[in-house]
Amino acid sequence: MSQKLTDAEIQTQLAQVPDWTLEGDRLQRTYRFKDFVEAIAFVNKLVEPAEAAGHHPDIAISYNRVIVTLTTHDAGGLTQKDFDLATQIANL
């Protein structure tokens, strides 16, 4: 299991993923698309990197908006896995 990051480590990591924000002890980004079909297409693109990492985002879909939230359930907070996946998602 990955170790929870300290507040200082989280701040350092946040600078590497500028479009993501800290929401409590979670990392979050909202994506907006043309319509529901494009939103779902994006969600489908998350499957491969998430499965490859063995790490899975929480996803909320509302028509053309997708809110991706990252946290490590096993650790009860943010770990390096969350920032690694955020980077991969940002590079899709």
**Residue 34 interacting with ligand H2B (CB under 6 A):** no
Instruction: Report how many residues bind ligand H2B under the rule CB under 6 A.
Output: 7
- Pick 39 or 70: Cβ nearer ligand H2B: 70
Q: Name the residue with tokens 């507040």.
A: 7
Q: CA 35, CA 20: separation in Å to the nearest integer?
A: 22
Q: For residue 20, which phi and psi values (nearest 5 degrees)?
A: -100, 145
Any idea what DSSP says for residue 4? P
Binding string, residues 61-80; x marks residues near ligand H2B by CB under 6 A: ----------xxxx------
55 binds ligand H2B (CB under 6 A): yes
Distance CA 88, CA 92 (A): 6
Q: Which of 44, 54, 91, 92 binds ligand H2B (CB under 6 A)?
A: 54
Residue 1 neighbours by CB distance under 10 Å? 8
Contact call for residue 56 and ligand H2B (CB under 6 A): yes
Query: Which residue ranges make up the site for ligand H2B (CB under 6 A)?
Result: 54-56, 71-74
